[in-house]
Amino acid sequence: MNHTDWDAVIVAPFGKLGIQTEIVDDSLMVRQIVYLDHSEKLKPARTDLAKEVENQFKQYFKNPDFVFDLPLKPFGTAFQQRVWSEIEKISRGEVKTYGDLAKAIKSAPRAVGQACGSNPFPLIVPCHRVISATGIGGFAHQAGEGFHRNVKAWLLQHEGVFLQ
């Protein structure tokens, strides 16, 4: 995605975050949030909502117990929404495996992983709290080492979870 499509690109401890907003039924809502690496150009917030998202993220980066309160654009299939609803029940400092979530909603771990990777509201819907049975697992449809795995590790450590 080109940085001109963002309503804001803000600094995060692990890189940057791209924020998009959209008017839905006469209300401005968060459309998506995307993890971006350090090379992405910063962009000041061009809507009041993008500025509020930035403010709330700053609060979270200072205090991992911060609770987000943002209008989110309805998104996803019924299955994805079930997965994301289950993810929202995972408290800070805790993790669940893809298998745990799959069992809770009577599905398969791989399907849960796909729904996690399609989450348009990372941090707000804390998919970083979902790990594999053998370690940290993938993140944002990315497997193995790299930027997204480092973001996931940073977020978990910020919330008091230290995995080997």
Catalytic residue positions?
127
Supply the DSSP string of the chain, one letter for each residue: --GGG-SEEEEETTEEEEEEEEEETTEEEEEEEEEE-TTSPPB---SHHHHHHHHHHHHHHH-TT------B---S-HHHHHHHHHHTTSPTT--EEHHHHHHHHTS-HHHHHHHHHT-SSTTTS-GGGEEBTTBS--BTTB-SSSHHHHHHHHHHHHTT----
